[in-house]
Amino acid sequence: MQLGDSDAVRVGQFAFAIGAPFKLDYTFTYGVVSGKGRSKLLATSGYSISDYLQTDASINPGNSGGPLCDIDGKVIGMNTLINGINRGLGFAIPSNMAKEIGDELIAGRKIMRPWLGIRIETLGDDPSIRDLFKGIDKGVVVRTIEADAPAYKSDLRPFDVITQVDANSVTTDSQLQHEILKKKIGQKVELTVWRKGQTLKVPVTTGELPNEISRASNEPARPPQNREEEVGKFGLQVQELTKEMAQRFKLGVQRGVIVTDVTENSLAAQQGIEREDVITEVDGKPVTDVKTFRDALNQADPKRGVLLYLDRKGSKTFAVLKAGGGEPPDDR
């Protein structure tokens, strides 16, 4: 069968799928291309293949690996995923991507992809934090920077908004991923970043996407309970981080306050804050001990949103504590 150009495929054109659903060989179904550029269908450790073709041609278990063809019989995709049975929601890897990967495998080469080591989302996807980005309308929010990843070694920070990659504008997380996938491993890229009203240029050198992205496997152990401070309205208990404690728990920072407990169903729990997270900043103010943490919280407005910078076993991330309408839940 001849490969077609999946980039030239248009939504609405005829398509047919060939496969062996339920072990029924040479089954032929037809429909149309319902969409292009579908992403976030299957993600592993924050990374996902983007640009799936969507079709309403009937695809069932057993069709995977079979061709999706256009009306001329050219292969435009490889059937891969379905969303339920008989829903008319089938997805195929574009033929251009399949050819690129196939050529590499035939040549005996390992499939290697560049990455920065960041978890991202399109600005506006999370309405609860949208009000904290005054002065910018479009871009990609950096949610987390993985430990020891290429971005970790740069000046990029959680809560930054990436607007360009090497002068190419990016407005969605899929566009940013696509731009990085064009690069070579070890290539330096320049990110244009919005940070608290300022535009910065941040150089980052790409690395190789690892097979598995995992956090440091420290044995969970509760920090000592001396000098513990309770922050009732947010549902947090913290204590000052000492150098000895940082070494004991193999933490990536030396200063801040460490979370010793999170109240169930509290604001902190809803935002995914975990025990042993280290809070290093509150609304841009450095946290060096429990007193500076309390002072910063007292000056913050929970209804607007309180921005916390966190170190989580080497990874850098953030959380926004925002009261939804009424009073924040009390810690009982």
Task: Identify the pLDDT of residue 31.
Answer: 94
Q: Between 83 and 181, where is the model more confident?
A: 181
- Three-state secondary structure call for residue 95: helix
Tens of pLDDT, residue by residue over 133-166, are 989 999 999 999 998 899 999 999 999 999 999 9
Decide if 6-106 and 114-208 have a common fold.
no
Residue 172 backbone class (left: φ over 0; alpha: ψ -120 to 50; beta: rest): beta
| pLDDT of 225 above 60 | no
Q: Return mean pLDDT, the chain.
A: 84
pTM for the structure as a whole: 0.74
What pLDDT, on the 0 to 100 scale, is given for residue 282?
93
Confidence bin at 265 (pLDDT 50/70/90): confident
CA contacts within 13 A on the Cβ side of 4? 20
Rounded CA-CA distance 163/254 in Å is 32
Would you kindly state where each structural domain of the chain is located, as residue ranges? 6-106, 114-208, 229-321
Res 219: pLDDT: 38
Token pair for residue 127? 């309405």
pLDDT band for 85, please (50, 70, 90 cuts): low
Confidence of residue 51 (pLDDT cuts 50, 70, 90): confident
**CB-count burial class (<10 Å; 0-12, 13-18, 19+) for 58:** buried
DSSP state letter for 21: G
Each as own residue / partner, the long-range contacts of residues 257-263 (CB below 8 Å, 24 or more positions apart, any chain) are 257/229, 257/287, 257/289, 257/290, 257/293, 258/223, 260/222, 260/223, 260/225, 260/228, 261/236, 261/237, 262/235, 262/236, 262/237, 263/235, 263/236, 263/329, 263/331, 263/332
- Alpha-carbon distance 198 to 45, whole Å? 30
Give the distance, in angstroms, between the CA of residue 86 and the centroid of all CA atoms in the same chain.
30
Reference 115, options 50, 191, 177; nearest CA is: 177
In the structure, what pLDDT confidence band is assigned to residue 63 with cuts at 50, 70 and 90? confident
pLDDT of 230 > 70? The answer is no
In this prediction, residue 144 carries a pLDDT of 94
Model confidence pLDDT, tens digit, residues 163-222? 999 989 999 988 898 899 889 999 999 999 999 899 999 999 999 988 765 443 333 444
CATH number of 229-321: 2.30.42.10
Q: Specify the fold of 6-106.
A: Thrombin, subunit H (2.40.10)
Q: Choose which CATH entry (2.30.42.10, 3.40.50.280, 1.10.540.10, 3.40.50.1220) describes domain 114-208.
A: 2.30.42.10
- Amino acid, single-letter form, for residue 306: V
The pLDDT of residue 49 is: 60
pLDDT value at 25 more than 90: no
Cα of 259 vs its chain's centroid, Å: 24
